[in-house]
Structure 1
Amino acid sequence: MNFSDMLKNKKKTTEEEKVASDNQTQSEMEQNVEQAEQPQAEQSAEAEAQEVEEVSAEEKLRAELKEANDKYLRLYAEFDNYKRRTNKERIELLQSAGKDVLLSLLPIADDFDRAIKYMNTSSDIEAVKEGIVLVSSKFKTTLTQKGVKEMESIGTSFDADLHEAITNIPAPSEDMKGKVIDEVEKGYFLNDKVIRFAKVVVGS
């Protein structure tokens, strides 16, 4: 082999090595591109999945909000109906309670009419007095049955929560100072609650 052939062979080998090297470099570049594209594809898939999850969560929140709103509207309607019903029942109760009291007083009114009629035709004063006392007793019994009770004030200590002082007079004794000496107008309780203060005279 002469020197020219050796140069040709060397040149050929160098070219083959260069082609091989270029092929290897291209292969590595393609591999690098594939590796670079793979995370991008994975990130894109993750982003799409996240977006789907966000849309699903938003739809779920909207459904829950709608359900809560519907529940609130139902509760409001039920409460409004309940309020109207209880107001109507309370009015009916007050009206019926007043009716019951008036019905219980009508027989007493009849007794008073009979007593007045008897007074105009009778000369027996004692019988008339007895009839008036009976009517008064019947009236007080009816009040008691309805929860009304007389207030006992004379001889008790003055109490601004129960009594209304009309005037002060000198006490007849030391132990009557600051106590009720006389009663101008009786006080009354309704089921232990004051419905009328007693008008009293207080010793000083």
Structure 2
Amino acid sequence: MFNKKKKNEEPMTDEDLAAQEAMNQETNENNVEENIAPEPVIELSVEEKLQQENGVLNDKYLRLFAEFDNYKRRTQKERIELLQTAGKDVVVSLLPVLDDFDRALKATETATEVTAIREGIMLVQNKLKSILTQKGLKEMESLHATFDTDIHEAITKIPAPTDDLKGKVVDELEKGYTLNDKVIRFAKVVVGA
């Protein structure tokens, strides 16, 4: 870098090289002094270091505990809101059926023909069943099925009318229902012995 010649320049003498090296060395020493500014280094004792670490860990613990507590409160609030509004869509979908029953009661006041009333009630029942089926409700078929304690509740046992009905449901007193494949009401049945 120092010995390179440019065009039309004279070669450097030994004195010029020595002067330039002295200048470079002085610049380097100044740079070193500027970079290493004497700062007071505070030495902490072991006890003070441990107290600092303890303070930091305590702070982290308190923040984590507060976050968890907020999470618990938030999820509990959401759960309560969910339980309060869980049946809302089912109730709203059943309101037209309730309206149909009101209309059917008004119609019975002036009706003279029983078959028309019966047909109207059957229409309302079918509407109610279709709404409940859409919500996941299913009737259990129990008659002449093998008795199963997971879905049936035996009210009584009677002698089986035929040998093939032994251990099977002979009569169904109350239908059983499942909601999304989970039993919500057991079928009350009479079992053949």
Of 176, 179, 201, which residue of structure 1 is paired with 2:190? 201
C-alpha offsets along residues 72-126 of structure 1, whole Å, 9 cap, x if unaligned? Answer: 2111111111111111111111211222222221211111111122122112222
* Cα RMSD for the two superposed structures: 1.8
Q: 1:147 & 1:69 partners in 2: Cα distance? A: 51
Task: Write 1 or 2 for the structure with the bigger share of helix.
Answer: 1
Q: 1:145 & 1:103 partners in 2: Cα distance? A: 13
Structure 1 segments (4+ residues) deviating >4 Å: none
Of 67, 74, 85, which residue of structure 1 is paired with 2:56? 67
Q: 1:109 maps to what in 2?
A: 98
Of 134, 143, 159, which residue of structure 1 is paired with 2:123? 134
Point out the structure with max Rg over C-alpha: 1
C-alpha offsets along residues 126-172 of structure 1, whole Å, 9 cap, x if unaligned? Answer: 22111111111111111112222212111211111111111111112
Aligned residues: 152
- Indicate the percent of aligned positions where both proteins have the same amino acid: 68
Of 159, 164, 175, which residue of structure 1 is paired with 2:164? 175
Q: Secondary structure at the match of 1:158?
A: coil
Q: Secondary structure at the match of 2:56?
A: helix
Q: 2:174 & 2:182 partners in 1: Cα distance? A: 17
Q: 2:52 & 2:107 partners in 1: Cα distance? A: 83
Q: 1:156 & 1:63 partners in 2: Cα distance? A: 74
Q: 1:64 & 1:184 partners in 2: Cα distance? A: 72
- Please, which runs of 5 or more residues in structure 1 have no aligned partner? 1-51
TM-score normalised to structure 1 length? 0.69
Q: 1:147 maps to what in 2?
A: 136
Q: 1:61 & 1:194 partners in 2: Cα distance? A: 60
